[in-house]
């Protein structure tokens, strides 16, 4: 047997770590999340894998595709640009109403975080007071618009009774400048607005009128059938990331300063993260684990959207919600 030349052996040994590293990288399975927003502090659990490795630990190479509202996120999974959508229930229902084959697999925020905000001197304190007013929304594809429609419906009003104005994400300037009479927002949007000089305001909380989840992870039926293992691993990674953010909010705030496009102020990040931590839990999740979905609540919301005229037919939510991929379920590692 001819001995291996020393130079060849040395070259092989030097190359081995790089080959192993490349092989390790190749083992990671690409997984893409379609967001409703740009990579902002609110979605920190999806942004810190380079630092914390929640998804890499599950064998996934996570990517984030930004959007301008939940309808964008749904469009991105329907177009095959992403595997899972970060979507509000209304956009999910609207897609089902159009015949799309979708399934919700995880409740991200079981609390309703939407509101409508007006200045103290506006006289707007209840939904009926919105009649004839100019109302801002983040975008026409956003949950803020649907939240506004829900509030209007509770007072027997529709969008025809108000003027809807697109103001952009987290933008209270039009309200402060008198360009709109009120603006639909989220709890974090209101927090940022107050930090930027928004004066004392009236807040109508949508959750008092429609107590339903704010956001779900939604997938195409085909993805649910063919990528079950990857979906389970993604949900496990997200659950672990969300639980970490609850345990270590200050660390999460510091990492958001590095990873989120709006994260320049760690103190503000911490306040946003605490709000999102609070929105991530409910009595149901305390009993059954993060991500657990309240089908009855979602059905009530879908029925309300139909009454609003946003849906043409009744959506049978139970047919389009599955808890079998949630971490900790039977046969699934906790």
pLDDT, tens digit, 9 for 90 and up, residues 242-284: 999 999 999 999 999 999 999 999 999 999 999 999 999 999 9
Higher pLDDT, 223 or 329: 223
CA angle, corner 18, sides to 14 and 24, nearest 5? 145
pTM of the model: 0.86
Nearest one of 153, 103, 104 to 131, comparing CA atoms: 153
- List pLDDT tens digits, range 74-86: 999 999 999 999 9
The rounded radius of gyration (Å) of the Cα atoms in the chain is: 22
| pLDDT confidence band for 297 (50 / 70 / 90) | very high
**Distance (Å, rounded) from C-alpha 312 to C-alpha 300?**
16
- Relative to beta strand 215-220, strand 102-109 is antiparallel
pLDDT of residue 170: 65
Spatial CB neighbours of 181, under 8 Å, sequence gap ≥ 6: 118, 122, 124, 133, 134, 135, 175
Partnered with residue 135 across adjacent β-strands are 164, 182
pLDDT band at 33, cuts 50/70/90?
Answer: very high
Does the pLDDT value for residue 15 go beyond 50?
A: no
**What domains sit in the chain, N to C, each tagged with a CATH number?**
27-111+213-320 (3.40.190.10), 114-208 (3.40.190.10)
* Mean pLDDT value across residues 195-204: 92
User: What are the structure tokens assigned to 83, written together?
Assistant: 């595997």
- % of the chain with per-residue pLDDT over 90: 80
């Amino acid at each position: 047997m001819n001995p291996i030349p020393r130079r060849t052996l040395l070259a092989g040994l030097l190359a081995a770590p790089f080959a192993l590293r490349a092989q390790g990288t190749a083992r990671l399975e690409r997984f893409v999340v379609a967001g409703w927003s740009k990579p902002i502090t609110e979605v920190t659990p999806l942004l810190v894998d380079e630092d914390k490795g929640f998804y890499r630990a599950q064998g996934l190479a996570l990517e984030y595709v930004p959007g301008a509202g939940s309808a964008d996120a749904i469009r991105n999974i329907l177009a095959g640009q992403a595997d899972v959508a970060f979507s509000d229930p209304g956009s999910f229902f609207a897609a089902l109403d159009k015949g799309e084959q979708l399934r919700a697999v995880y409740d991200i925020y079981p609390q309703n975080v939407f509101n409508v905000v007006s200045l103290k001197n506006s006289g707007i304190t209840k939904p009926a007071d919105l009649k004839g007013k100019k109302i801002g929304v983040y975008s026409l594809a956003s949950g803020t618009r649907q939240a506004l429609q829900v509030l209007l419906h509770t007072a027997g009003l529709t969008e025809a009774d108000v003027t809807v104005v697109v103001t952009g994400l987290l933008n209270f300037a039009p309200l402060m400048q008198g360009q709109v009479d009120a603006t639909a927002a989220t709890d974090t949007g209101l927090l940022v607005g107050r930090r930027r000089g928004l004066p004392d305001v009236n807040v109508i909380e949508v959750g008092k009128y429609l107590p339903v989840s704010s956001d779900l992870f939604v997938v195409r039926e085909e993805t649910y059938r063919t990528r079950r293992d990857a979906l389970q691993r993604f949900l496990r990674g997200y659950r672990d990331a969300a639980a970490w953010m609850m345990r270590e909010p200050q660390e999460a705030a510091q990492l958001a300063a590095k990873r989120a496009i709006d994260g320049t102020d760690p103190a503000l990040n911490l306040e946003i993260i605490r709000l999102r931590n609070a929105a991530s839990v409910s009595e149901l999740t305390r009993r059954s684990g993060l991500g657990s979905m309240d089908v009855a609540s979602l059905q009530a919301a879908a029925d309300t959207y139909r009454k609003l005229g946003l849906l043409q037919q009744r959506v049978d939510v139970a047919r389009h919600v599955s808890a079998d991929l949630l971490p900790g379920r039977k046969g699934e590692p906790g």
